[in-house]
Chains A and B, each alone.
Chain A
Amino acid sequence: MTASGSGRPTAVFLMNALRAFGRSLLPDERRERIAASIAISSAIGFALLLGWGASALLAVTRTGLAQLPELQPGFLLVHLLRALYAGAAFLLLLGSLTSSVSLLFLSDDLPALLPLPISHRRLFLGLLLRSIGAASAPTWFLATPLVAVAALHSPSPSLTVAALSLSLLSVVLVAGGAGAIAALLLVRIVPPRRARLLAATLSAVGLAGALIAIRGTRPERLFDPMQALEILRRLGTVPPAPSTGPAGWLAAASYDALSGSVSGLAAAAALAAGALMLVTLVAVSLAPVHLATWRRSAESSSDTASGADRRIVRSLGRELLAAEGRSFLREASTPAQLGSLVAVFVLDLLNLRLLPAHDAAARDLVGGVQTALALFLVSALSLRFAYPAVSTDGRAALVLRSFPLSPGRHLAARYAVRAFPAVVATLFLIAVSGAALRLDGLPLAASLATGLVGALSIPALHLGLGALYPRYGASSAVAAALGPGGLFAMAASTVLALLAAPVVSQELRALLSVLSGLRLDERTLLAAWCGLSLLAGAAPLLLAVRSLGRRDVSLA
């Protein structure tokens, strides 16, 4: 291979980055390739599903609107676009905050780039755009099918694609840039590593707040025809307020373009150019601040005399537990991901009030579903925190293997740290659900028993499979989890969670009995489920204990 295509640094950097991205999508190693193929297929499938859903929704809306002549589709569309742009801006701001702290202050390539003869203004602009690009990738992914559907149903598809893409670009640049500035300010106040934790926590709290706020608007009203009609009348008969803010300008430009007007494209292009100019100006003026802040933070890390750990080591067992706890809590993405799961947890509890629990049969059914949902949450937690527990040792695996430490004992410590929060969260969720649904007697006991056994087994299943097929070379815990093994563990634990529903619910058991023609005794079913669940958890753990002491440690 020759080094063809040499030229300007930015062009070479982009070309190298594109090639590197291609290598991530098509890795050399077979297992990595399977994982990448699954991820790509899932992404394409999700995008197609989203596009299909949007298309179906559009068709239903058109039919409905034809029967409601008093509603103005334009009013509804502008309201919708405004909400979408404002929502995208909010999510981008949160995403960019965390990614900017990492990229602008903690990335490994900064000390390699800074000594190169590149002006810091240019370097900072490049870093800022990379950070915005990284934070906006999910937004582009979600928006692409929607833009495609909008284009297919508009009088001028190319005009629509261009105008909507430029409008979204404006949102991405402004909101992403604002997140980066917020990150810069944050690092001026606290050191980068703490700032990253703080940013991740702020993002998670913001996201959780947004989810709960959306829940607070009672979207379930849309399932009630009378209430849905009332909402549509309110939005579809009152003209939107004049476009005074950026979201309004973008909505107006997009609406014009969707109607086939070139002025919409011109307005979207002007807004995108303005946003790009704004980001460039901000980058140029804040570059010296970034350099000074980076230097200060690099210096403060040299100055760090971290509080010495003066605990007395009492036993290896306690030390292993403490070490696992530290690894678990100090990982940068933990607060954000735990925060998101807490939001799901809160939403689940809020939903309890809305579920049809007016009679005993409905309460029994909901009790079963709630148990399954609690165990599904444990599956999600386990995929993220238990499956990659061994892989995240990374290079330390070489040293660990050289220690006179039993793999079984170490795995037990890893398990204890992950199973304990799972048990507490599951039992709390099930107990609150049980109280809200007024469950008692055997249904409540069955629900608590399945919750307890499931919360003990599912982390074991994930930890065991992750330890059987460790990926020490994975770049992060998430990358380690999203391989074929992690997806298999998630599928297996989801099946266990689903099977828990008929174990708890008499109504579901009756339904299954009718469908299968078998008599399903509640006690037998509970015992069988607990046995299966414990086996599914214990088998991979025991196999992993054998395998960890013998398998080659591969860091590739």
Chain B
Amino acid sequence: MSRGVEEGHPGAVQFDAASKKYGERLALDALTLRVKPGEIFALVGPNGAGKTTAIGLLTGLLTPTAGRVLVFGLDVSLEPLAVKRRLGLVPDRPWIWPKWTPREALRFTGAVFGMTGRALDERIEAELEAFSLAEAGDQRAETLSHGTRQKAALAQAFLHDPDLFVLDEPMVGLDPAAQRNLVARLRERTRTGAAVLFTTHHLSLAEEIADRTGVLGEGRLLAAGDPRDLQGPRGMRGRLSEVFFGLTERA
């Protein structure tokens, strides 16, 4: 796993005191966070803690009210296209045009990322195969189950070999085999230097696969570190779930 990020280097993801206000409500309060290339970072927190807002800022769907968000040193607000070229996103609700098939959606995504011809065709076949979509690949999205649409959304994210995976609740709807497959593929990609930032409500998943975990509560980063050694309130240590409840209930 590549961990060689120099001190001061921006890393794959860098939130610099990034805040986001919705009207009077502070959804994200001066979030400062770094994710290094080759690292899997899990963002956990109760509903409304600011996880999806953080992903919105990272992908350019939202702009910070204060602070800044950098991806590989590029400011998301200033250079959105350059940032997006390096991202693979799976949103919280997987979306494909209802009358399109997963194969067509992949073809469009590939074209957007500058992939063409036989290379794209081969890549599409490989991704359909990798996510067990060989049969569902030619069915209309509107007829697919939530889990199959989630697999198609994941295939879209993997298609162009992004340097940064941003996954909002990626395991929702996936069967155990697909979950295991996704974890294996993410680990494989981080070995070649890609970074992963994902949100989840499954604390055991964060504990199992994340190199580091950040706990968000009411828009603030309450703690961040190795999920197996995270520090709770008053120096408390224990399982991630104990630390999580200790932190978030206090917040």
Q: Which residues of A contact B (CB under 8 A)?
A: 1-9, 11-13, 16-17, 19-21, 23-24, 108-109, 111-112, 114-120, 295, 298-300, 302-303, 473, 475, 556
With A20-B99, A20-B104, A115-B91 given, name 5 new contacts (CB 8 A).
A12-B108, A112-B91, A295-B62, A295-B63, A299-B62
A20-B99, A115-B59, A295-B63 known; A9+B124 contact, CB < 8 A: no
Checking A6, A21, A114, A556 against B116 with a beta-carbon cut-off of 8 angstroms, the contacting residue is: A6
| Contact status A7-B23, CB under 8 Å | no
Q: Which residues of B contact A (CB under 8 A)?
A: 22-25, 27, 53, 56, 59-63, 80-81, 84-85, 87, 89, 91, 95-100, 103-113, 115-117, 120-121, 124-125, 137-138, 140, 142-143
Residues from chain B with Cβ under 8 Å of A1 in the complex: 103, 137-138
| Contact status A16-B89, CB under 8 Å | no
| Contact status A24-B99, CB under 8 Å | yes
A302 and B61 CA atoms in complex are apart in Å by 13
Residues from chain B with Cβ under 8 Å of A24 in the complex: 99
Closest CB pairs A-B (n = 7): A20-B99, A303-B22, A303-B23, A117-B84, A9-B111, A115-B59, A12-B111
Checking A5, A17, A21, A116 against B109 with a beta-carbon cut-off of 8 angstroms, the contacting residue is: A116
**Closest A-chain residue to B110, C-beta based?**
A6
Checking B22, B27, B113 against A117 with a beta-carbon cut-off of 8 angstroms, the contacting residue is: B113
| Contact status B100-A20, CB under 8 Å | yes
Checking A11, A12, A114, A302 against B60 with a beta-carbon cut-off of 8 angstroms, the contacting residue is: A114
Can you show 16 pairs from A to B with CB atoms below 8 A apart? A1-B138, A6-B117, A7-B116, A11-B111, A12-B107, A12-B111, A13-B111, A16-B104, A19-B100, A23-B140, A115-B60, A115-B84, A115-B91, A117-B113, A295-B61, A473-B142
Closest CB of chain A to B121's CB: distance in Å? 5
Checking B91, B107, B124 against A111 with a beta-carbon cut-off of 8 angstroms, the contacting residue is: B91
Residues from chain B with Cβ under 8 Å of A115 in the complex: 59-61, 84, 87, 89, 91
**Closest B-chain residue to A118, C-beta based?**
B112
A1-B138, A117-B84, A473-B142 known; A111+B22 contact, CB < 8 A: no
| Contact status A112-B113, CB under 8 Å | no
Residues from chain A with Cβ under 8 Å of B111 in the complex: 6-9, 11-13
A1-B103, A115-B89, A300-B23 known; A16+B108 contact, CB < 8 A: yes
**Closest B-chain residue to A21, C-beta based?**
B99
A295 and B84 CA atoms in complex are apart in Å by 17
A264 and B120 CA atoms in complex are apart in Å by 46
**Closest A-chain residue to B96, C-beta based?**
A112
A12-B111, A117-B84, A118-B112 known; A4+B104 contact, CB < 8 A: no
| Contact status A23-B91, CB under 8 Å | no
A475 and B141 CA atoms in complex are apart in Å by 13
Checking A20, A21, A120, A302 against B22 with a beta-carbon cut-off of 8 angstroms, the contacting residue is: A302
Residues from chain B with Cβ under 8 Å of A7 in the complex: 111, 116-117
A536 and B24 CA atoms in complex are apart in Å by 56
| Contact status B84-A116, CB under 8 Å | yes
Residues from chain B with Cβ under 8 Å of A21 in the complex: 99
Residues from chain B with Cβ under 8 Å of A4 in the complex: 121
| Contact status A9-B121, CB under 8 Å | no
Most chain A beta carbons < 10 A, residue from B25, B85, B99, B113: B99
Most chain A beta carbons < 10 A, residue from B84, B106, B115: B84
